[in-house]
């Protein structure tokens, strides 16, 4: 079995040590690939299982969203996902729209509402004092009546 790590060459040693207890043998790291001897692999471990182990490794290192793992026979390939310029702009654009939208709403709402005169005296002090909200408690449930009690009450 062969794993082509591609741009993740710097973590290939870590990946090999991560896979070792799971597949039952020490993988050989060479350049941009990891070789696993098929005869020494633990019984029942298939390339599909190794793919899952690799995805778990990527997740633990925080790069799972940036890589895809492809299986073709006995060969696994890690490929970096390249976001196009359009996708990057789409991610930035909704954030910019959300920030701009509340400002526009405030601008539109301000002219429509007439300004109220400021209250004087005690009324102003009452409005400025922060109101404390107490958390609501759930109503106590009534105990269920048993059959005996229901029969006695009748």
Task: Identify the weakest region by mean pLDDT among 19-28, 63-72, 97-106, 117-126.
Answer: 97-106
Amino acid 142: pLDDT? 75
What does the pLDDT average to over 68-95?
76
Token pair in block for residue 106: 């405030």
Q: Which residues contact 13 (CB under 8 A, 6 or more apart)?
A: 29
Average pLDDT value over all residues in the chain: 76
**Per-residue model confidence (pLDDT) at position 77:** 92
- pLDDT tens for residues 83-139? 765 555 566 655 555 555 555 555 555 555 555 555 565 555 555 555 666 777 777
Q: Is residue 44 within 8 Å of 5, Cβ to Cβ? A: no
Structural domain 2-80, CATH architecture: 2-Layer Sandwich (3.30)
**pTM of whole model > 0.85?**
no
pLDDT of amino acid 67? 92
Q: Are 76 and 47 in contact (CB under 8 A)?
A: yes
Angle at 89 between CA 88 and CA 94, to 5 degrees: 110
User: Mean per-residue pLDDT for 142-147?
Assistant: 73
Band of residue 39 on the pLDDT scale cut at 50, 70, 90: confident
Give the per-residue pLDDT at 17: 92
pLDDT given at position 121? 58
pLDDT at 50: 92
Q: Quick one: average pLDDT of 43-48?
A: 89
H helix and E strand count, the chain: 5, 5
C-alpha neighbours within 13 Å on the C-beta side of residue 46? 5
In this predicted structure, what is the pLDDT of residue 8?
A: 87
Under 8 Å between Cβ of 36 and 25: yes
Task: Report how far residue 23's alpha carbon sits from residue 43's, in angstroms, rounded to the nearest whole number.
Answer: 9
Residue 152 pLDDT > 70, yes or no?
no
Residue 90 DSSP code? H
């Amino acid at each position: 079995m062969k794993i082509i790590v591609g741009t993740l060459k710097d973590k290939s040693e870590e990946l090999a040590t991560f896979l070792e207890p799971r597949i039952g043998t020490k993988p050989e790291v060479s350049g941009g690939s990891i070789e696993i001897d098929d005869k020494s692999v633990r019984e029942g471990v298939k390339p599909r299982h190794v793919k899952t182990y690799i995805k778990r490794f990527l997740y633990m290192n925080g790069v799972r969203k940036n890589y895809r793992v492809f299986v073709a026979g006995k060969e696994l390939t890690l490929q970096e996902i390249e976001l196009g310029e359009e996708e990057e702009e789409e991610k930035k654009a909704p954030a910019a729209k959300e920030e701009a939208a509340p400002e526009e709403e405030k601008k539109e709402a301000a002219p429509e509402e007439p300004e109220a005169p400021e209250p004087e005296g005690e009324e102003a002090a009452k409005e400025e004092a922060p109101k404390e909200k107490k958390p609501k408690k759930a109503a106590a449930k009534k105990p269920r009546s048993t059959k005996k009690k229901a029969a006695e009450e009748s």
